[in-house]
Amino acid sequence: MILITSVNGIEAAFPDYIFSSQRVRFVEGEYVIIDNEAYIASSIRKVSDPDKPGGIVDIPLITDLPFDGNRTVKRAGIPQINPAAISVKGFLEKYFYPFVPAEISFTGNDAIYEYGTSQSVTLRATITANDETEIANRRIIYVSNGDTLVHVGTTDDFSAQITIQGDDTAPLHNKKQVFKALTDVGGNGSPGSIASGLRTYSFYYPVLYGMAPLLNGATIYNGLSKVVVADSTRQFAIPLNGENQYIWFAPPFKNVKPVFRDNNGFDVSDSFFMQNMMVTTSQKYPQWTFGYFVWRSIAPTSVANKVFSVIYP
């Protein structure tokens, strides 16, 4: 006779030939599956007395394996994966109800500011635990400053308000301030860290535009409107309004000639010429001098509240 203890702590007796019969269907890790019930493999022992010891009970034959299928399936679609299961129950659990790891992300979006300005920003990170039960060491790091620690969080929704400076006083790359949120997790037995996507604050010299009389490097910054965009921007819509004044468009990038179109869509590019100009600001923040490619209409003109377009090839 074979004695073996179930995972529920019940000791059961089986005939000696049980392991040569079809009643033993699966062996998974530390367990032996008999009649679709799990037993502890290390508890198997053989006794010579055919009489059942006290407390030992027969386990009736179970023809259907109990399984909690009244749950929303977690896995989307039918991906080609190997659940690495050797029992029906193990397959169902691993394939349809896999462990869903925790996720961490920043709220909000990346932002662009004018070079030389000081900005107060809030870095807010949120953690979605999903199936994770072990979350610790929540933190925000300053990637562009040698991964220095900015803030340590205590909850799954944590934030830090910091001031960043987009000029030559900023560490490393002065035109990009980059941050990342991380946390340590248990990983369902595979501990590690998870990280958010990068939060990037970029600083650019502004594009200057508008209508004004003749300007120079010291007056053009205050004499025109400005827009701060990434240097990869290819198209601009510039509102104009003025009488007997020059049209100005001054980018800090792209020395190639763009296409100028008036409010009716006509190409008026031949009415503009370019000059290099060192543009200087007049206030402490921002305070900088930078070489611009300044496009100006050849002659003064009048425009009554119209929008022109500037397009780079």
Over the stretch 164-174, which tens digit does the pLDDT of each residue have? 988 776 654 45
Cα–Cα distance between 83 and 94 in angstroms, integer? 6
Same domain as 137, residue 58 = no
Q: Residue 271 pLDDT more than 80?
A: yes
Measure the CA–CA gap between 169 and 119, rounded to whole angstroms: 13
Buried b (16+ CB within 10 A) or exposed e, 105-122: ebeeeeeebbbbeeeebe
Q: Write out the H or E segment, with its range, that includes residue 24.
A: strand 24-28
Domain boundary among 203, 230, 265: 203
Q: Taking residues 165-189, what's their average pLDDT?
A: 82
81 or 162: which carries more pLDDT confidence? 162
HSE toward the beta carbon, residue 68, CA cutoff 13 A = 4
**pLDDT of res. 262:** 97
User: Which of 96, 120, 145 marks a domain boundary?
Assistant: 96
Indicate whether 188 and 109 sit together in one domain.
yes
Same domain, 199 and 107: yes
The pLDDT of 183-205, averaged and rounded, is 95
Average pLDDT over residues 61-88: 72
180 φ, ψ to 5°? -150, 145
Joined together, the tokens standing for residue 294 give 């300044």
Q: Say what the pLDDT of residue 282 is.
A: 82
**Residue 185 to residue 121: CA distance in whole angstroms:** 27
What pLDDT score does 24 carry?
Answer: 77
Q: Are residues 172 and 145 in the same domain?
A: yes
The percentage of the chain sitting over the pLDDT mark of 90, rounded to a whole number, equals: 58
Peptide bond into 252 cis (omega under 30): no
Task: Quote the pLDDT of residue 32.
Answer: 81
- Which residue did the predictor score with more confidence, 65 or 134? 134
Domain count, the chain: 3
Q: For residue 175, report the phi and psi dihedrals to the nearest 5 degrees.
A: -100, -5
Q: Which residue has the higher pLDDT, 62 or 175?
A: 175
- Same domain (yes/no): 213, 199: no
Q: Which of 96, 116, 140 is the last residue of a domain?
A: 96
Residue 101's nearest CA partner among 189, 187, 192, 193 is 187
Domain that holds residue 265: 207-311
Q: How many CB atoms lie within 10 A of CB 173?
A: 12
Q: How confident is the model at residue 51 (pLDDT cuts 50, 70, 90)?
A: low
Residues 301 and 261 in one domain: yes
Residues 130 and 195 in one domain: yes
Residue 96 has what pLDDT?
86
CB 179 within 8 A of CB 160: no
Q: Are residues 218 and 305 in the same domain?
A: yes
> Is the domain of 304 the same as that of 221?
yes
The CATH number of whichever domain residue 173 belongs to comes to 2.60.40.10
- In order, the DSSP letters of 40-75 are EGGG-EE-S--SPPTT-BPPPP-SS------S---S
Same structural domain, 108 and 199: yes
Task: Tell me how far apart the alpha carbons of residues 260 and 274 are, in angstroms, rounded to a whole number.
Answer: 13
pLDDT at 202: 93
Kindly state the percentage of the chain with pLDDT values over 70.
89
Q: Which residue has the tokens 């490619």?
A: 293
Does residue 29 have a pLDDT over 90?
A: no
Residue 90 has pLDDT above 90, yes or no: no
Q: What is the per-residue pLDDT for 238?
A: 97
| Residues contacting 152, CB < 8 A, separation 6+ | 137, 138, 139
Domain co-membership, 108 together with 179: yes
Q: Do 239 and 217 have their domain in common?
A: yes
